[in-house]
Amino acid sequence: MKILLPPSETKRQGGTGAPLDLGGLALPELHEERRAVADALVRLASDPDEAQRVLKLSDKQVGEIAHNRELLAAPTMPAVDRYTGVLYDALDATSLPAASRRWLASHVWIHSAPFGPVGALDGIPAYRLAAGTSLPGIPPLRRHWAEATSAAIASEEPVFVLDLRSEAYVALGPIPADVDSAYVRVVTEHGKALNHFNKKSKGMLVRTLAEDRPRIRSLRALRAWAESRGVVLREGSDQGTLELVVAE
C-alpha cells in the first residue's frame, strides 16, 4: 500500500541534511518537472516584489521569499518532519520509533507543489509555493504536473493507494484509473463533512498505521485492519471513496 498525503503551508525552519538532491527523491521519473519548478522559484525570488505578488504573500510573509532563493543550497530535513500544522501535528512523526519511521518511508508519499510526491523521509528544504500558484516561465502547475505525476505513480505499480490529499493536490497528479485506490473523506456518523477534524483525523490514521506497520495490499485488507483498531472506514457515496467516520 502507498499513502498519499497533502503538504502543509506551515513548515519547520532549518535542517541538518545536505542540500536538496532532486535526483534522490522518490519517483525519480519526475526529475525534469522538479528541476523546472525549482529553477522557476529561484528565478522568481530574485525579484522580491514580483515574488510577493505571484506567491500572494502579505507584508508579514515576505521573509519566506528567502527560502525560495536558497532552495537549492539550504539544509534539508525529512519531508514528514518539515511540515507542521494540524495533520502533521497529529501524525507527530518525530516521536515515532525508528521502525515506524521506516514504515513511513516505504509507504507514504507527501505531495508537494515544487517537487511533486516525495517520500516521507526524503530530505527537502523550506519553501513557499501553493498548488494554485502560476509561476512565470512554466505552465500552470496543474498542467505541468498532472500527466507526469500520474505516469510516475503508475510506474511504481502500487497494489493499492490510499489518497488522503486535498482536491487541489489530487489535480496535480490523479491516480491512474487502472491503479486500485480509494479517496478518503472525513465525516460524522451522519455524513456531515468536517474541516479541522478532517486534517487531524487523517494524521491520526497515518500515525496508527505507522505504529502497527500492517501489510495491506487491498481495500478489503485496509478495512479489516481498521475494524480491528476501532477505526470506522466505510464506503462513500461516490465510487472509489471511503468515509473516515469521527465524532463531532
Q: Which domain, by its residues, includes 134?
A: 2-245
3-state helix, strand, coil in the chain (%, to 5): 45, 15, 40
DSSP H/E element including 185: strand 181-187
Helices (H) and strands (E) counted in the chain, each on its own, are 10, 9
Beta bridge partners of 76: 17
Neighbours of 196 (CB within 10 A): 9
The confidence score (pLDDT) of residue 133 equals 96
Give pLDDT tens digits along the chain (248 positions): 999 999 999 999 999 999 999 999 999 999 999 999 999 999 999 999 999 999 999 999 999 999 999 999 999 999 999 999 999 999 999 999 999 999 999 999 999 999 999 999 999 999 999 999 999 999 999 999 999 999 999 999 999 999 999 999 999 999 999 999 999 999 988 777 777 689 999 999 999 999 999 999 999 999 999 999 999 999 998 889 999 999 86
- What element of type H or E holds 173? none
Torsion sign (Cα): 205, 153, 159, 211? negative
Q: Taking a C-beta distance cutoff of 8 angstroms, is the pair 36, 138 a contact?
A: yes
Which residues are paired to 111 by β-bridges? 117
Structural domains of the chain, count: 1
End-to-end, the C-alpha distance of the chain in Å comes to 29
